[in-house]
Structure 1
Amino acid sequence: SDMDNTDKVVGLIEECRQLGLDVLPPDVNVSEYAFGVDGEHRIVYGLGAIKGVGEAAVEAILAERRTGGPFPDLLDLCRRIDLRRANRRVLEALIRAGALDGLGRHRAALMARLTAALRSAEQHTRDHAAGQDDLFGGPIAGHGVPEAPEPPEWEDGERLTGEKETLGLYLTGHPITRYEKELTDIVTARIGELAADADGNGTGAARMPPREDRPAVIAGLVVALRVTQTQRGARIAFLTLDDRSGRLEIAVFSEAFQRYRPLLAKDRLLVVKGSLSADEYTGGYRMSADCIWDIEQARAAFARRLEVEIDSEQAANGFVSSLARILTPFRVERGAQNGAGGCPVWVEYRRPDARAHVALGAGWHVRPTDELLQRLEELAGRERVRFVYRARDGAAGRGFGAGADPV
């Protein structure tokens, strides 16, 4: 059936979005097996389209919901449903898909409490089977879930990965969102702006005459990838980038394909430099790739430096040694091959009456990975760590929002 065909489901959801229809995440207290429409004409995700759940498990959940009403929390859900049909694996998939978000806790907390909830539900079932009910026929209390410290919410990346694995798409966000601020100083424009500026499409000031090529840098998530072979036997690829504002197909011809083949994969965030030309068929643009980077390589290629801001109080509390300890595993030698020469690190020292920049030596160039960024943000604070990008021809800064702080 179509419910089992994830690619078809994803395609239909994309069509709904393009038509301006809202698609709500699955909800164990609202969704049916198949997709539906609520009273506000919004599409409600069907539980049957969640990978790893299955029809028998969904029917068990829906039957109990129709009989006993909505599930107020995770423990109530585990106690009331048939755990032989909706087991731990099913419940984990429901959590990762967001189908239990309405049960009062975030996904990380639900996952952390699942084992205790299942244990309590199993004991509840044994007590009921043994006739250990109270005077009014109900189960004896005392098998709740012990309170424990609430774990932190999942980062956006983990949340979206869970959705991708269980739903086949990113439903509540986009992986590019966390990078939008810094991408402003790399890209020429957002893809949606290119569409608005295209010849024959509105009155955009940057409209380009047909057949005139121009250089551009574009970033986005690879949502489609097709590899083919020319009549001469050369392999080429066509990939579609999505940056939340629009989509653009990019041709990767044989020379670029051989050079950047390891980077070409679906669900990968890429930065592409190439030539834009008008597409007379669609009225928009098409692009051929000259250079391709992942986000780490793009930072190394375009960033002037990685800046960490500290104040006098932090400096007096062992900040420098902590900074060195964090940077050490990410240090690289200058002149490394494949664009991995690293990024310089500067420390911006602030006092109430002055500020100064201190550039660390060449031996402290680092690989600008997401992991390094996260560790530095934990040390100094999210707003005190940033990449500062060089001004570039073609990087118009119109793209994703506020750019890096001025130098």
Structure 2
Amino acid sequence: EWIPDFIQGKQKNKKISYLHPKLKPILERTYGVVVYQEQVLQIARDLAGFTLGEADILRKAVGKKIPELLEEQKEKFIGGCIARGILKTAAQKIFAFIEPFAGYGFNRAHAACYALIAYETAYLKANWPAEFMASLLTSDLDDIDRIAIEVEECKRLGIEVLPPDINESFSTFTVVASSLKEKMPKIRFGLKAIKNVGGNIAKAIIHERKTNGHYKNLEDFLRRIKSKDLNKKSLESLIKCGALDKFGERNQMLGSVERLLKFLRYAQKESKSNQGNLFENLTVPLGQEGSLHLEERETASKDQKLTWEKELLGLYVSEHPFKEFEFLFKDVICPCGKINPRAIPVSWGDERGKSPYQHIDGEGINVEAKNLARVAGVITKVQKIITRGGELMLFVKIEDSTGNLEVLVFPTVYKLSPALFKEGKIIFVSGRVSEKEEEIKFIANEVQEITIENVPELTRTFKSKGDISTLGGKIHSSFISKPLRQISNFIYPHTKNFGAPPPPKEYPNAVPTKLGWHGVYISLPPIVKERLLEELRIIFSSHPGEHKVCLVVTDRYKTKKIETNFNIDYNKEVKERIEKTVGLDSVKCSLD
């Protein structure tokens, strides 16, 4: 709370005052604010007559907030001040002035060291952000929670964190050199970060690559690695995490792992014996040009790949499974990594509007124990506990792209849906924030599973006034002709089209309408402002006709296709007015 005063004093924007003249020589260099522990000792010595040993006891009492000792030291301090000619009221104010110091105080030597480190690391991050973040990730290699936070920071800085790659990864996190030249910085996961891939095999892979160049294919990789540490467990881990994606499809390689191991054993045997090619008489199936044949398998799904990433790397790298839901629920849930009982926006709280929330600077609110909030994420861990009453309760860790949160599920809530609490499930939790012993937990009152099918229903329940999100703004329900449930396929292109025929080839992004594929398609930017929508509404209303209006909103991740309840008379004048409002080439018509 004294930081603003310190800054204002340093910048000479305020006149510095002291509660007593004797404080000036002690606090003058820090602009009237107690910053260092040594200053507390000096105040106690010069104003209250303490010895330095007694002053240190006062410092400990203030720092550790021991009630009995603090009260004892307070009386002693005020008494000492009075004995040295300081008024009692002034002495009380001085003690109250130094008491909050415990929240931030350092001794001066430590403060100087930390300040220097903070300055140096800030400089490195500002000027070499990719190199700095790669080093930071490497330093926290064994701390998955820190790694997750730092990967998110990389994304904020525009640095892409890539999964391991057999031809690019080193032992630790490293910057991809070519990405710096392209001014699109990327950091590659290290091989030692992969579960079951130890330092020896990582060292062997990197040494061989440096000596004889990149691995050309799966057979080349298996022939060249001589280490006994390349076994079934390490090979499966390399495949599952995506390190060998350049050589084939994951499920195919995984299904052929016994065949690959047999090939590996013979290759190592051939290398040791230094004999000619023994593979001519092997039963290991080889394709043309001596390449291995992999067994036919169904392609691994995105969810399966993400599960493997989480299992072997400790976090989701290529994409978070909750990512496709985040933009829909962003206005009604609190991100797991930002839960704080002292700063939760109103829209994340009790939908009944009965909670006694109080705004702080227009951004956050104080949340009391009885106040409700909402969170959502993927279940990553479930711990079962038997209560004193012999009932089952759970500690459930959920995670979104911002971090994780522990959710307490008491027996009454657990009994309502016991099958729901499994790792990998995506859930929506209404409950309250609890902070005991400085540890934040979320106590569940109600839990619902989130699926592609029930997203529209949940969205309709929690979005106010029927609004739905575009990829960055809102489109009011007056634009939508169908119930949200019926247009969920337009929000999620990979769901079924409810029997509609495929779109015409010339309009692959077209929206199926009540009039078939006969319509006007308007491309909107990810962030849609209210004024733009109002201008479009005026244009549509003033030119009624037979052409159905459909909105297509796209960002780098997905396309949302939304049918509106407007039919317009499409002509050159209308097209020009829409393009003037939205942008050139933003309008397409099936008759153009």
Interval containing the TM-score (normalised by the shorter chain): 0.5 to 0.7
Q: Secondary structure at the match of 2:316?
A: coil
Corresponding residue number in structure 2 for 1:131: 276
TM-score by length of 1: 0.56
Corresponding residue number in structure 2 for 1:74: 218
Q: Deviation digits for residues 142-172 of structure 1, max 9, x if unmatched?
A: 7522789998863211211222232233222
1:273 to 426, 430, 439: 430
1:405–1:85: structure 2 CA closer, same or farther, 3 Å change rule? same
Q: Secondary structure at the match of 1:309?
A: coil
Q: CA deviation at 1:245?
A: 3.7
Please state if 1:60 is matched with 2:241: no
Alignment partners' CA distance in 1, 2:360 and 2:405: 15
Corresponding residue number in structure 2 for 1:293: 448
Corresponding residue number in structure 1 for 2:311: 165
Corresponding residue number in structure 2 for 1:26: 164
Alignment partners' CA distance in 1, 2:434 and 2:429: 17
**1:318-333 alignment, distance < 5 Å:** none
Unaligned runs of 5+ residues in structure 2 are: 1-139, 279-286, 346-357, 459-483, 490-496, 504-511, 520-557, 566-592
1:212–1:60: structure 2 CA closer, same or farther, 3 Å change rule? closer
CA-atom RMSD in angstroms? 5.1
1:201–1:298: structure 2 CA closer, same or farther, 3 Å change rule? farther
Q: Deviation digits for residues 260-291 of structure 1, max 9, x if unmatched?
A: 444334443112233x4586998x98643222
1:105–1:294: structure 2 CA closer, same or farther, 3 Å change rule? same
Corresponding residue number in structure 2 for 1:45: 189
1:162–1:265: structure 2 CA closer, same or farther, 3 Å change rule? same
**Contact preservation (8 Å) 2:141, 2:147:** no
Alignment partners' CA distance in 2, 1:7 and 1:77: 26
Instruction: Tell me the percent identity.
Output: 24
Alignment partners' CA distance in 2, 1:54 and 1:293: 40
Alignment partners' CA distance in 2, 1:403 and 1:251: 38
Corresponding residue number in structure 2 for 1:264: 421
Q: Secondary structure at the match of 1:351?
A: coil
**Contact preservation (8 Å) 1:29, 1:71:** yes
Please state if 1:17 is matched with 2:155: no
Corresponding residue number in structure 2 for 1:302: 457
1:214–1:247: structure 2 CA closer, same or farther, 3 Å change rule? same
Which one has a larger percent helix, Structure 1 or Structure 2? 2
1:97–1:119: structure 2 CA closer, same or farther, 3 Å change rule? same
**Contact preservation (8 Å) 1:190, 1:243:** no
Give the AA of the match of 2:230. A
Alignment partners' CA distance in 2, 1:201 and 1:242: 27
TM-score by length of 2: 0.41
Alignment partners' CA distance in 2, 1:213 and 1:405: 41
1:401–1:231: structure 2 CA closer, same or farther, 3 Å change rule? farther
**Contact preservation (8 Å) 1:218, 1:272:** yes
Unaligned runs of 5+ residues in structure 1 are: 1-5, 134-140, 315-346, 355-399
Alignment partners' CA distance in 2, 1:300 and 1:44: 34
**Contact preservation (8 Å) 2:457, 2:485:** no
**1:122-201 alignment, distance < 5 Å:** 129-131=274-276, 143-145=289-291, 154-180=300-326, 184=329, 188-191=332-335, 197-198=344-345
Q: Deviation digits for residues 174-194 of structure 1, max 9, x if unmatched?
A: 12234446x549x82352687
Q: Secondary structure at the match of 2:311?
A: helix
Q: CA deviation at 1:256?
A: 1.4
